[in-house]
Chain A
Amino acid sequence: QLHLQESGPGLVRPSETLTLTCSVSGDSLSSNNCFWGWIRQPPGETLEWIGSVSYTGSTYYNPSLKSRATISVDTSKSQFSLGLSTVTAADTAVYYCARSYAPACGGDCLDESYFDFWGEGSLVTVSS
């Protein structure tokens, strides 16, 4: 059974870089047709997709966050990470890592994928 677990600091100072890691067990980050993504949810608000990295290593970002977000993969540790620079209070949220899966796709079909496994979420507060 696939399991994802977020880890990282719960408090980040304004203007600093938020860094979170997602540890994956039960699947390989190189599995065909899989994407590994980050989604966040500010308190009381809806979900916001931040970005995803494909099994081929291609990265995709929300245009509204693209200039500040970086997603990287370490297949040797079975982890992928999120970096979000120059944070403000508006970046306070529960951050989820998740797998999205696009069955029967011969390439990077992010638009055919769906988020089938999620981590439990990690609350990150931006405050001085």
Chain B
Amino acid sequence: SYELTQPPSLSVSPGQTATITCSGDKLGDKFASWYQQKPGQAPVLVIYRDTKRPSTIPERFSGSNSGNTATLTITGTQAMDEAAYYCQAWDSYTSGVFGGGTKLTVL
């Protein structure tokens, strides 16, 4: 089965750039999405179709996807960005897969 691999955790200082990676076989040939989840809340879409950002998401969130790696970048990270982040893609056109999640700590 298809797998997406993320680092379990990442720590950054406020104002720094946070880069979260998601690796999978030929992931660049698929569309990647990213979701932010704060404790006790439902996930929220932050990046879709590799690079697109919903209108409600701040510009500091951006994405890329090439080769075997999709990347979520948060430029000028704020304390409110502390959350778990999950990547997601579709395998074999019809099977959804999520990464293991990355816990972002802003300290």
Hey, which bits of chain A sit against chain B, CB under 8 A? 37, 39, 46-49, 52, 60, 62-64, 96, 110-116, 118-121
Once the chains bind, are B54 and A116 in contact (CB under 8 Å)?
A: yes
Choose from B49, B94, B99 the contact partner of A110 (Cβ within 8 Å). Answer: B94
- Cross-chain pairs A/B with CB under 8 angstroms, 27 sampled: A46-B86, A46-B98, A47-B35, A47-B43, A47-B86, A47-B98, A49-B88, A49-B95, A49-B96, A49-B97, A49-B98, A60-B95, A62-B96, A63-B95, A96-B42, A96-B43, A111-B30, A111-B31, A113-B90, A114-B31, A114-B45, A115-B33, A116-B45, A118-B42, A118-B43, A119-B42, A121-B42
CB-defined contacts of A118 to chain B, threshold 8 Å: 42-44
CB-defined contacts of B48 to chain A, threshold 8 Å: 114, 116
> Closest Cβ of chain A: how far from B102's Cβ, in Å?
10
Once the chains bind, are B31 and A112 in contact (CB under 8 Å)?
A: yes
> Closest Cβ of chain B: how far from A110's Cβ, in Å?
5
Q: Which 4 A-B pairs have CB atoms at the shortest separation, nearest pair first?
A: A49-B96, A111-B90, A114-B48, A47-B98
Once the chains bind, are B33 and A114 in contact (CB under 8 Å)?
A: yes
> Closest Cβ of chain B: how far from A50's Cβ, in Å?
9
Once the chains bind, are A115 and B94 in contact (CB under 8 Å)?
A: no
On chain B, which size bracket covers the interface? Answer: 20 to 34
- Contacts A112-B90, A120-B41, A120-B42 known; list 9 others, CB within 8 Å: A37-B96, A49-B97, A60-B94, A63-B1, A110-B96, A111-B94, A114-B31, A114-B33, A119-B42
CB-defined contacts of B43 to chain A, threshold 8 Å: 47, 96, 115, 118
| Nearest-neighbor residue (CB-CB) of A115 within chain B | B45
Q: Is B100 an interface residue (CB 8 A)?
A: yes
* Chain B 44-59 interface residues, beta-carbon cutoff 8 Å to A: 44-45, 48-49, 54
| Nearest-neighbor residue (CB-CB) of A64 within chain B | B1
CB-defined contacts of A46 to chain B, threshold 8 Å: 86, 98-101
CB-defined contacts of B45 to chain A, threshold 8 Å: 114-116
Once the chains bind, are B95 and A62 in contact (CB under 8 Å)?
A: yes
CB-defined contacts of A110 to chain B, threshold 8 Å: 90, 93-94, 96
